[in-house]
Amino acid sequence: MDTKLRYGFRDTKLVQAKVRQIQKLVTRPWAIMEICGGQTHSIKKFGLDQLLPPEIEFIHGPGCPVCVTSLELIDKALQIAALPNVIFTSYGDMLRVPGSKGDLFSVKANGGDVRVVYSPLDSLKIAQENPRKEVVFFAIGFETTAPANAMSVLQAEAMRIDNFSLLVSHVCVPPAMRAILNSPSNRVQGFLAAGHVCTVMGYWEYIPIAEEYRVPIVVTGFEPLDILEGVYRVVRQLEGGTHEVENAYSRLVTYEGNRAAQKVIQQVFEVCDRKWRGIGTIPKSGWKLRDAYLKFDAEHRFDTQAIETQESPLCIAGLVLQGLKKPYECSAFGTLCTPQNPLGATMVSSEGACAAYYLYSRNLESPKMNHV
Amino acid sequence: MSDENQPIDFLGAYCPLPLTHSEQIVIGHGSGGRLTYDLIQSVFATHLTNPLLEQGDDGVALPPIDPEFEIVVSTDSHVISPIFFPGGDIGKLAVCGTVNDLAVMGAKPLYLTAGFILEEGLPVDVLEFIVSSMAKSAEEAGVAIVAGDTKVVERGKGDGIFINTSGVGIRPRSLHISGRNAKVGDRIILSGPLGEHGVAVLQARGDLGFLSDLQSDVAPLNHLIAGALEAGMQDRGNAIHTMRDPTRGGLATTLNEIARQSNVGIVINEAEIPIQETVISVCEMLGFDPLYMANEGKCVFIVDPEGTDRVLKAIRADKYGSKARVIGEVVSDHPQKVLLKTMIGSTRLVDMLSGELLPRIC
């Protein structure tokens, strides 16, 4: 990042001007969902919700890949990672996500070879260097991480690396938006679409959703000015009674997205039903490896059938992920459930809504921030 | 020629001489016998020589302390991976870490002890480099390493080398520096930019896929702190109420500790906090916050408002404090909490670090 990011997209005067523009527009309360956990994090980190008029309510969406990975898959990860001949590789923030019994950190402490990597290609390299070990990568994430994960499979095949596999838990944004809008308790009136996802996928997928549900959708970035611009455009549509897809992140996002990345995803993955933690199964909301790549599927390679999952009875992460409850409305928030001792995934990830509330605004005196 | 007349290869018949093992640490280096003695003579005594260490007894008798001073003791273990990183190494870190722990107590560091846990297979060259680096840092800080210990663990049971350093210093009995002393109205001075050590070490691990010219800030701060204390001396006492080096857990954790110890609130201004652009970039990419990144050459001062300018000037006069800034103040609101005024005009909580810093997924 150069100084432009810190002082450009976070410029105080520009931020204040955009806030004033929004204030002038607003005539009544509006509930806007930011889909991506990265946006939730930015909203809380920069205190954007404090700057905006009280009529604007942010509802936090299910766009945190760590939060929505199903308990069943976390338990499978724990089981595989504990096997003696396995090197289990994962993005860092998955290590603290609680399964039914423990997390990947506790597997590591008990002797499991669990390693943090920054990319599935790093994991592939570990497989090359350890030909006698089984190397498994925990392939979680939305459309953003899918291209690199798909690429790792293609490379493993090309390089004939047969000790590498993915534990796949890919989820897709558009089916989740439909599930939220179809819910009888839905309160969402407009969406800030996740900029990172649209960088890969474009925004053509959102046009039928906006039309069918008559809901404005604005592709939005992650810096303070990006988010305020997204809010401004959603509110402008809501106040004007329109429902279109707009692109407020045009410096990175195009209508069709990254075609090469989409092609790689299509080649390796196919659509499947996917269980979302706290929400349940959403039809056709995920990707799994195509049959041609079954040998790279960790669920196929290891016996992970005998899993019995058990969620905390207190955790309301599912309701938070659907925008039905705020984190501070949970009886365990900040007391029984903290980042040190998370009951649910939304308190673990840096993108989780509960963690963002806990970190940046718990228990402060300002009325808008007095959450506990 | 018959077999009996074959010349005998006497080279193969010699009783083999034992290897000297002068190139690599072997288990025997921790035996306490000849190999240990040789290692001490060839590596430690060569670089760390001083009359107190040379006594060679099981402990060291130190000269009596002036009754107007009290003794300050600190200890720290260093287990960093990798052991070499841009701007430093585990040896420099081990000396500076303990020197700084003593200095932020308001003490003048005098003596260090060093305990080494070496892993079988560690090249002696590497050990020698680390010990010489310790000697350089000790010289810069003006402290003597007066006692030591070496143990060797089997290969695979260590990370090359672990070092524990303990330090002894003295401070005037009249000087009251503590995390419990922050007072409402006090200013907070940060001696320089944040996060350089944390990012340099991450980069040195080599798995981030990028390089920069960033160096760790690891440095002995005792001279900087001595200058600040001198400048802070006033008629009624010392203007500096609290000092602390924001190492692991970063500035955020340090300020939270002080807020809790002193039962005060703390407000810091994002626009005033010095951070290098490279550090900001790396943190943005990985999803880290520079407020939580480790530092090994920075100090936070909580200073009486009347003495702030003088203390700041003294800190800036030191080479390690040229970029010092007043970054915030101590307040009566929201006791035991730290708040950040963001550059865009909002306010947010700054919490302690929870567990490990973990890179985000996307």
pLDDT at B17: 62
| Angle subtended at Cα B271 by Cα A6 and Cα A41, rounded to the nearest 5 degrees | 55
Q: Shortest CB distance from A118 goes to which of B208, B344, B348?
A: B208
What DSSP state is assigned to residue B8? P
pLDDT at A153: 97
pLDDT at A14: 92
Residue B221 has pLDDT above 60, yes or no: yes
Report the gap between the CA of B282 and the closest CA in chain A (Å).
8
Instruction: Pick from B202, B280, B346, B353 the residue to mutate for testing the A interface (most A CBs within 10 Å).
Output: B346
Whether B287 sits inside 8 A of A350 (CB atoms) is: yes
Residue B12 has pLDDT above 70, yes or no: no
Q: What's the rounded mean pLDDT across residues B241-267?
A: 97
SS3 B329: strand
Q: Shortest CB distance from B280 goes to which of A1, A48, A340?
A: A1
Question: Whole-angstrom Cα distance, residue A274 to residue A168?
Answer: 11
Instruction: List CB contacts (< 8 A) between A198 and chain B.
Output: none
Report the gap between the CA of B339 and the closest CA in chain A (Å).
9
Question: Whole-angstrom Cα distance, residue A117 to residue A209?
Answer: 36
Q: Per-residue confidence at B308, pLDDT binned at 50, 70, 90? A: very high
Residue B18 has pLDDT above 80, yes or no: no
pLDDT, tens digit (0-9, with 9 covering 90-100), for B84-98: 999 999 999 999 999
In this structure, the number of other CB atoms found within 10 A of the CB of residue B261 comes to: 16
SS3 B171: strand
Whether B346 sits inside 8 A of A50 (CB atoms) is: yes
Query: In this structure, which amino acid lies at residue B250?
Result: G
Q: What's the rounded mean pLDDT across residues A330-344?
A: 88
Chains A, B: CB contacts within 8 A come to 113
Instruction: List CB contacts (< 8 A) between B362 and chain A.
Output: 38, 65, 141-142, 144-145, 196
Q: What's the rounded mean pLDDT across residues A81-103?
A: 91
B interface with A, Cβ–Cβ < 8 A, is: 207-209, 277, 280-281, 284-287, 333-334, 337, 339, 342-349, 351, 354-356, 358-362
SS3 B86: coil
| Angle subtended at Cα A344 by Cα A340 and Cα A345, rounded to the nearest 5 degrees | 90
Q: Per-residue confidence at A361, pLDDT binned at 50, 70, 90? A: confident
Residue A3 has pLDDT above 60, yes or no: no
**Spatial CA neighbour of B254 closest among B360, B347, B346, B328:** B328
Instruction: Pick from A10, A46, A363 the residue to mutate for testing the B interface (most B CBs within 10 Å).
Output: A46
Q: What's the rounded mean pLDDT across residues B168-177?
A: 94
**Spatial CA neighbour of B248 closest among B134, B137, B353, B358:** B353
The residue written with tokens 């300002």 in the block is A366
SS3 A177: helix
Q: Per-residue confidence at A370, pLDDT binned at 50, 70, 90? A: very low
Q: What's the rounded mean pLDDT across residues A91-116?
A: 90
Question: Whole-angstrom Cα distance, residue A31 to residue A187?
Answer: 7
Whether A145 sits inside 8 A of B362 (CB atoms) is: yes
Report the gap between the CA of A28 and the closest CA in chain B (Å).
23
pLDDT at B362: 59
Whether A196 sits inside 8 A of B354 (CB atoms) is: no
Query: In this structure, which amino acid lies at residue A370?
Result: N
Question: Whole-angstrom Cα distance, residue A105 to residue B322?
Answer: 41
Question: Whole-angstrom Cα distance, residue B87 to residue B335?
Answer: 38
Q: Are B91 and B131 in contact (CB under 8 A)?
A: yes
Q: What's the rounded mean pLDDT across residues B59-73?
A: 92
Q: Per-residue confidence at A317, pLDDT binned at 50, 70, 90? A: confident
**Average pLDDT, rounded, for chain A:** 91
Residue A371 has pLDDT above 50, yes or no: no
Q: Per-residue confidence at B259, pLDDT binned at 50, 70, 90? A: very high
Residue A241 has pLDDT above 50, yes or no: yes
Most confident option among A54-68, A193-207, B4-18: A193-207
Q: Whats the size of chain A, residue-wise?
A: 372
Whether A12 sits inside 8 A of B343 (CB atoms) is: yes
Instruction: List CB contacts (< 8 A) between A196 and chain B.
Output: 362
B333: nearest CA in chain A?
A365
Instruction: List CB contacts (< 8 A) between A349 and chain B.
Output: 360-361
Residue A368 has pLDDT above 60, yes or no: no
Residues in CB range of B11: below 8 A, 6 or more apart: none
Question: Whole-angstrom Cα distance, residue A356 to residue A244?
Answer: 29
Question: In the numeric block, which tokens belong to residue A299?
Answer: 């669920």
- pTM for the whole thing? 0.85
Most confident option among A140-149, B227-236, B350-359: A140-149
Q: Are B119 and B126 in contact (CB under 8 A)?
A: no
Report the gap between the CA of B219 and the closest CA in chain A (Å).
27
What DSSP state is assigned to residue A287? E
Q: Per-residue confidence at A96, pLDDT binned at 50, 70, 90? A: confident
| Angle subtended at Cα A12 by Cα A224 and Cα A62, rounded to the nearest 5 degrees | 15
Q: Return the percentage of chain A with pLDDT > 70, whole number.
A: 95
pLDDT at B286: 83
pLDDT at A365: 43
